[in-house]
């Protein structure tokens, strides 16, 4: 199947700092990527849809000024958690659609805010 | 956000047993997907279903797209220890990349050797 990577896999930061997470489609181009958040023992909750060359579409209740998304190329989307606080600690997962109408997920990024 | 109802919430079985889990929705979906997630990893696609009534197999896994388009089930036959993980269903209303997935609440599977 298609490969989606995320970097970093783990990040620990101090409260008030900003953290950038990258999502890359390695062997295909993706005009649309999605960002999810998953709390322990819970399901994936969609945060936003990232569209190449245009603004992201955020789900209800997700602060767009706090979770900045940039889809600068057909293989890269970034999620920046600004002024992170302990309640932002979570597992962040991205996904990307292939040209064959299949959605593949990245391995996730564990964010811990101290 | 919306979630699909998935049952059972967890299952603890012996190696070799068959497993069945299902997912229901109050609204119609045009695509049903089943994923498996290992701890600390992203979900991995197991089976995709695109047509009502469709029955699809992938090795020991079989999934069906319900006739009403409001449900789906996943069966695992002759379970083995590496089947351990969390299984999620996901539904999609429209086709194509702009249509987001709605995930189920997940089924935790534990297999005792």
pLDDT in tens, B52-108: 999 999 999 999 999 999 999 999 999 999 999 999 999 998 766 567 889 999 999
Residues 6 or more apart from B104 whose CB is under 8 A from it? A43, B3, B4, B5, B6, B23, B88, B89, B90
Cβ-count burial of A16 within 10 angstroms (0-12 exposed, 13-18 middle, 19+ buried)?
exposed
Q: Chain A contacts of B48, Cβ < 8 Å?
A: 102
What pLDDT is stored for residue B98 in this prediction? 60
* CA pair distance A88, B20, nearest whole angstrom: 35
Q: Tens digit of pLDDT per residue, chain A (114 long)?
A: 679 999 999 999 999 999 999 999 998 998 889 999 999 889 999 999 998 888 899 999 999 999 999 998 999 999 999 999 999 999 999 999 887 777 899 999 999 999
Contact B97 A30 (CB under 8 A): yes
Tokens 């993706």 -> residue: A30
Q: What is residue B95's predicted lDDT score, i.e. its pLDDT?
A: 62
Q: Which of A1, A36, A43, A56 to mutate to test the interface with B (most CBs of B within 10 A)?
A: A43
Return the pLDDT at B97.
Answer: 53
- CB contact at 8 A, B1 and A46: yes
User: What is the pLDDT, as a whole number, of residue A101?
Assistant: 74
Nearest to B101 among A4, A103, A107 (CB): A103
Distance from CA of B91 to the nearest CA of A (A): 12
Residue pLDDT, tens place only, B5-42:
999 999 999 999 999 999 999 999 999 999 999 989 99
Q: How near does any CA of chain B get to the CA of A83, in Å? A: 24
Q: A-chain residues within 8 Å CB-CB of B3?
A: 43
**The predicted structure's pLDDT at residue B9:** 95
| Residues from chain B contacting residue A62 (CB–CB below 8 Å) | none
Which residues in A lie closer than 8 A to residue B103 (C-beta atoms)? 43-45
Asked if A43 and B101 come within 8 Å (Cβ–Cβ), the reply is: no
């Amino acid at each position: 199947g298609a490969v989606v990577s995320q970097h970093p896999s783990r990040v620990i930061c101090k409260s008030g700092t900003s953290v950038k997470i990258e999502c890359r489609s390695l062997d295909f181009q993706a005009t649309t990527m999605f960002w999810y958040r998953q709390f322990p023992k819970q399901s994936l909750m969609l945060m936003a849809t990232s569209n190449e060359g245009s603004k992201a579409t955020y789900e209800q209740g997700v602060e767009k000024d706090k979770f900045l998304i940039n889809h600068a190329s057909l293989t890269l989307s970034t999620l920046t958690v600004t002024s992170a606080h302990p309640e932002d600690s979570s597992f962040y997962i991205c996904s990307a659609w292939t040209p064959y109408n299949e959605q593949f997920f990245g391995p996730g990024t564990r964010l811990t805010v101290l | 956000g919306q979630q699909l109802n998935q049952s059972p919430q967890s299952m603890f079985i012996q190696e070799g047993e068959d497993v069945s889990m299902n997912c229901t929705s109050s609204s119609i979906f045009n695509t049903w997907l089943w994923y498996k997630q290992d701890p600390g990893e992203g979900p991995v696609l197991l089976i995709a279903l695109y047509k009502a009534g469709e029955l699809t197999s992938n090795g020991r896994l079989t999934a069906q797209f319900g006739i009403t388009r409001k449900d789906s089930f996943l069966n695992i036959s002759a379970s083995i220890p590496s089947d351990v993980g969390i299984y999620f269903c996901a539904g999609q209303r429209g086709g194509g990349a702009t249509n987001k997935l709605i995930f189920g609440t997940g089924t935790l599977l534990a297999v005792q050797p």
